[in-house]
Structure 1
Amino acid sequence: MKLNVIKDNPGSSKKRMRVGRGIGSGKGKTAGRGVKGQKARSGVAIKGFEGGQMPLHRRLPKRGFVNVFRIELNELNLDRLQSAIDAKKIDIKNEITNEGLVEAGVLSKKRGGLKLLGKGKFTAKANFVVAAASKSAIEAVEKAGGSVKVVPVKKPVEEKPKKKA
């Protein structure tokens, strides 16, 4: 077989229709859009529109709950932390915090804080300052000779500017 002989199967690919190229093309003048009206124009957005009737997505009741005070935490397992310590990314002489892990490249974003999870083996004697920690993680760190200090994080409340009388 030669690369310069290879061809598609007959009928497998079609040339695209070039619209608006004259009456003889079969898709000239209105380019297959019909005549007048909103759909003939560009920028049509009629997704949930029901001819003036209240759309279904607005007639149905809203369900569920969105907690605006939710704080997203970085979750970190002990085995990943141990491998970072073994690779000398983290200095265990200092307290290990969320910010320190972001600077070391173990975590990508700072988020709201750090949650320590207990998956894997942990042998380093290290002190942690975290937003939350699982029981198994605390036990594993204390068994290795370290400590875990849990400092709960609160979402900062934005103060509204006071109106002048």
Structure 2
Amino acid sequence: MPELQRLRPDHAPALLAFEEENRAFFAATVPDRGDDYFTRFAARHAALLAEQATGACHFHVLVTQDGEVLGRFNLMDAADGEAELGFRLAEKATGRGLATATVRELFTLCTQTYALTKLRAGATLTNSASRAVLTRTGFVPTGEELVLSRERGLGYVRELEGL
């Protein structure tokens, strides 16, 4: 079983490989990050680590035993017991329940390590896989229509108290 790890500097090469290998797959359901993301990856990675050090965000990667990144699971804009969940899974890792299991594992980190009591999430209307993961893990639609990188989407929320 892959391991959920807090983002570290040494994850950079495997994380870049993950993003490059899955770029077309991700672009089918979420807006592409653009070429600049890849050419400036090292600076972007350093900026994420600096942001994480402030406690405002908590970034995680799902890693195999040999160090390959299979997914990203991020808690962003953490404040007042709430954060926004974002995640993406490698194409070759889909359909096995890994995203669902990892989001559930993240709930434990949220409550026991990060003192979070509520998560928000959003998914584009075209991203049925992410919407299914959110529903399976207890997120409920808020009724809020979102625009996610110029794409229509839906908002979700998950209370974590009492887990």
Give the number of the structure with larger relative contact order, counting CA–CA contacts within 8 Å between residues 6 or more apart.
2
Structure of greater Rg: 1
TM over 0.5: no
Report the TM-score when normalising by structure 1.
Answer: 0.25
The answer to which structure has the higher strand fraction is: 2
The answer to which structure has the higher helix fraction is: 2
